[in-house]
Structure 1
Amino acid sequence: MSGRTRIGFIGLGMMGHGMARNLVAKGFPLTVVAHRRREAVDDLVSLGAAETTTPAEVAAASDIVFICVGNSAQVETLVRDRSGLAAGAHRGLTIVDCSTSDPNSTLMLAAELMPLGVDYADAPLSRTPKEAMEGTLDCMVGAADAVFARIEPAISAWAGRIVHVGKVGDGHKMKLLNNFVSLGYAAIYAEALALARKSDIEPATFDSVIRGGRMDCGFYQTFMRYVLERDENAHKFSIGNAAKDLRYLEAMADATAFANPVGNAVKNTFAGAAATGRANHYVPMISDIVAAANGTRLD
């Protein structure tokens, strides 16, 4: 039974807490590592999870370890550190990186772990902390077929839609492409709204034309929930993380000698916004930054 698979989870942030909660609630023996968000650790322990102090201890206690952190540098440290996952690894362990990471780093880590008898997979996420808590995230997986078959039951505990994209690294590549599309739209929305306001067209009027038409979508609706209703939690993904993902996209393009002028333009929009000191603001708030840069306001 899938419930007998021992799961480790590292990274109990806005997404990771909900994912880990679904795992323990659905019968998976869960081990977590101490985290600065004590409320998340305490919640999981109250549901039956075990707490350890190092990633090495998580690896030793688990069949599958999920990582959900902010960037590739953090993932590499978690794997390679003196008390990291590799230090506690055992043959048959599978490590699954659910972060949005640099595919070049993913492939490097997979190669390093192979001689230890450890399989590596990438399973980045789409949607928001709300869906993480509900267990209905989207997930795109890069893994060998046998590894995918092994990890899919555990992923199903927190994901409602799972796509096996291809081999290891392909999940992170697809995630960057997915984010390029959504963040590209965010940059376009922000610029279009600012230009509309400068041209005496109100955001509500702009929305009345787009909403319900062919250019409407779920991402547009959450973006506009901030613009029109000032709901700061409409889409809880930071500008700083967006800029990081677009830098990874640039590295992915560079690795294939691919010219990506649109990607660089979107990256510069978000990098410039982060440089104003608002990296911790959420993506829809880029509309205010672009408007202010053009001498106008949307509220």
Structure 2
Amino acid sequence: MDVGAKLKEWLSFFTEPTAKRLMLIANIGGVGYYWVVSLLVFYVNLFVIIPSILSENLGWMRFQWWFFVVAYFNMMLNYLICLSKKSRYTSTEGIVTEEASSKGWGYCVPCQQYSPPRTHHCSVCKHCILKRDQHCFFLGACIGHFNQRYFLVFLFYASISALHAAVCFFTYLNQYFATFLSLDFYCYFFPIATTKWVLGYTPSHLFGILALFYMCLMLGFGCIGFFTFHFQRALHCQTSYEFSHRVTTYSRGPQRNLQEIFGSYWWLAFLVPIPQKQTSDGIVWNKPKELKGY
């Protein structure tokens, strides 16, 4: 893409309808939120919380320190690889209407091209995405055929990292803020904690750790929910669209479905993010079929 086309794409933000403009703002805000919170949690948990709550047990402290580092490293690595793997589809050769219809292809009006089965156009990315599942605002990118495996592993380690940090933050707050199983438990209610902080009764650093605790708790359970849902879809070889429309055309059994996403040794993706050859190219599927709504 040349500079002129890129500039035109950026300037189009000001001419987009309100709904699309809000989605673009959410896309930028989601990425910014992820980076700010993840880096802040990483620093505070490693260099403030863990040394404080485990200072009397160096062996256990080192274990917790490295456990969080490994989980966080895998989360960030899969996040970055997921961003780098594009599932965009751009037609390189013409295809006539009869041929497209026989293959179960649909026509994308915004892209002015025929697209393969399971391909959807994303109004935020402004591209056709192979086997499009969703647009993730925390990544600022679409999840499709070539980056779905990294997205699933990212959710897995994000759950572990967030919940580990939440447990550490709670342990710290229980020692230095308010004992949970006591008459001071009401201090954990965020509106009350916020009022006490504004009035000067709660130190800023404790209020900040309490806020991070709630963020990690919500993100941790949220990622568990997302991972469970999307891993079940992977087992059935379904996208979110296909699940909502009860499409089971492409399922070939749990084992082969996972291999189609992760590669032959699908379990290895959860240990090391080594690329493995997928059994499909995202264009030709085992049972191509025209799906309503594509």
- For normalisation by structure 2, the TM-score amounts to 0.28
Which structure has more strand as a fraction of its residues? 1
Which one has a larger percent helix, Structure 1 or Structure 2?
A: 2
Is the radius of gyration larger for structure 1 or structure 2? 2
